[in-house]
Amino acid sequence: HDTTGIRGSVLLDARIAGTARAPEIRGTGSLTGAVFGDFQAPLVRAAFDYRQQVMRSNLTFWRTGVPVVEVDATLPLDLAFSGATTRQLPGPINIIAKGDSVDLAIVEAFTPNLRKVTGFLSMDARVEGTWDAPRLAGKAQLLGGGADVPALGVRYGPITGGLTFAGDSIVAENVKVGGTTGDLEVTGAVRLEHLTTPILGLALSAHEFDLINVRDYLRIQAWGDVNLTGTLAHPVLTGAGRFTNSVIYFADLVSKNIVNLEDPLYADLVDTLAIRQQGLGANFQSRFLDSLTIKDLDFIAGTGVWLRSNEANFQLEGRLRVNKLRKLYQIEGSLNTPRGTYTLEIGPTISRTFTVERGAVRYFGDLNAELDVQARNVVRTNDATQGEIPVIANITGTLEVPKLTLSTPPDRQPMSQPELIALLVFGTTRVGLQNGLNVGAGATSAALNALANELQRSLTSANHAPDILEIRQGLSVGSGFGSQVQSATEIAVGNSIGSKLFVTGNVGFCLNQSQSFSARNLGASLEYRFRRELRMVLSAEPVQTCFATGADPGFTTLRYQFGADLRWDRDY
């Protein structure tokens, strides 16, 4: 066994008599600062008396100099120094555990995975019967419990409810775990097949419950009913759930390879004891996921579920079936992408945002799903004869290796990839000084674009951030050096309201002019989805023309445009 995770100190005062096959042992002892992997024990003091193959002992758990839990036990054991074939003997066992209004902060002494533990526990429990057929009796009551789980990025609380010890089971009664927004109800029981082998039989009912909220990794808010069965060391999860207001950062989940430095395989390469002492070992999150088996878990992507990376921000809708054995995930199903954005990086400082029109993320057995997403960016050219030109981004490939191709709509003249990139960067396919590009203005625009792009990424990854945030940099309109006319810069923010309505608000302004804002600077759009393939969009937004200060100081033109679309999509 790996013993590098064991530490602590033992004080023992024992008297040993009798023979090697029938010893008699009595004395006292204490255990201080004990650590067994993730388990940390508080100060434990014990008195014991062993004779005629029966161990009688008293254990007292202490916290900050105060006894909090006391356990008396009478156990049939064979502690012979030679000739023993089994340690647990037939015969009656008797364990009594009592604690009155125990401060649950003691739990922090048992595990590093919980912090800021609050609440109180009153307990009067008994275990009788035999090792193979234990019989339980008594109750435990929890009041005002709560704890931070740093590995999951959430705080659970208040936690209330009781446990009833009856027969061979520990039954949950009115156990409710509060979260940031919702709660989790726990029913069922843990059955002791043997005294040291608990079997799970728990039903979990989640209502808008935050399971995990780790920035730039995973945020999941769950509804649904699942069952947790199996042994404590190898739990099995089944059932059905619906995730809402959740974000999956697929770049981390798929491509990040994590090396377990605590594995004894690396003992010759790293100091595993130092890793544990410095808190660099595996946390609760990875240990729990490694041991958890998932069988036919139906996963429904509800309102506000997003798939994000540095470039992509796709809303997901649909159904998946998830299975997991050890570390191997098997996922099947298809998710639609009704809306979202895709940011095309062109060099270190230039980026262009595309609005998703349709698409799908399809899983065929593993985490590396196939992509088929189409997004659009409407370029306002600096050539009055060309007007606005839509550029289509076709995102295919997989989550690990996405592929991007640019094209124009079928009703437009085809362009090559270099022409489309030039169109996105400069607003024209004819690049050159003769076309009147303002180098100074281009540098300013690039700097502002880089700043806007970084701001957009930071805001969309924060908690309670809007579903969509777009910063659309204005482009020069017209030709000639120092073009005097420019389109307005726009900021758009969008959010889901329920499962069918999506609202977007935007504001337009001129960066090169000081101006007073009014309601005329604001625009909005409403998208209502009757069903997956049929939706209606109503929009109203200002159309601003910004003039250079030297050409017409402080003067802008501002007018409104209104639109209504009824869209029906069919896939073949």
For 172-206, the pLDDT digits (tens) are 998 999 998 899 999 999 998 877 788 999 999 99
- Please list the ranges in the chain whose pLDDT falls under 70: 1-5, 36-40, 109-110, 250-289, 347-349, 382-386, 429-465, 472-487, 499, 511-518, 532, 544-558, 571-572
Which of helix, strand or coil describes residue 163? strand
Q: 96 vs 51, 165, 194, CA distance in Å?
A: 20, 12, 17
Distance, in Å, from the CA atom of 156 to the CA atom of 178, rounded to the nearest integer, reads: 6
In 3D, which of 187, 156, 160, 190 has the Cα closest to residue 176?
160
pTM > 0.95:
no
Distance, in Å, from the CA atom of 270 to the CA atom of 344, rounded to the nearest integer, reads: 41
- Relative to beta strand 235-249, strand 305-308 is parallel
Distance, in Å, from the CA atom of 18 to the CA atom of 78, rounded to the nearest integer, reads: 14
Which of helix, strand or coil describes residue 359? strand
Size of the chain, expressed as the number of residues it contains: 572
Q: What is the structure's pLDDT at 18?
A: 94
DSSP at 77: B
Distance, in Å, from the CA atom of 174 to the CA atom of 158, rounded to the nearest integer, reads: 13
* Helical residues (DSSP H) of 306-465, grouped into ranges: 417-426, 439-461
Q: 154 vs 94, 143, 178, 181, CA distance in Å?
A: 39, 20, 11, 11
| Beta bridge pairs of residue 142 | 121, 161
Q: What is the structure's pLDDT at 446?
A: 53
- Token pair listed for 182: 């919702």
Q: What is the structure's pLDDT at 541?
A: 80
Distance, in Å, from the CA atom of 193 to the CA atom of 171, rounded to the nearest integer, reads: 14
Q: What is the structure's pLDDT at 240?
A: 93
Distance, in Å, from the CA atom of 282 to the CA atom of 276, rounded to the nearest integer, reads: 9
Helix (H), strand (E) at residue 290: helix 284-291
Whether 397 contacts 403, CB under 8 Å? yes
User: Residues 247-301: pLDDT tens digits?
Assistant: 887 654 444 444 444 455 545 544 544 544 444 444 444 456 678 899 999 989 8
User: Residues 386-421: pLDDT tens digits?
Assistant: 677 889 999 888 877 888 889 998 888 888 888 888
Helix (H), strand (E) at residue 426: helix 417-426
- In angstroms and rounded to an integer, the radius of gyration of the C-alpha atoms of the chain is 32
Distance, in Å, from the CA atom of 366 to the CA atom of 79, rounded to the nearest integer, reads: 50
- Token pair listed for 483: 């073009």
Whether 468 contacts 478, CB under 8 Å? no
- Identity of the residue numbered 493: V
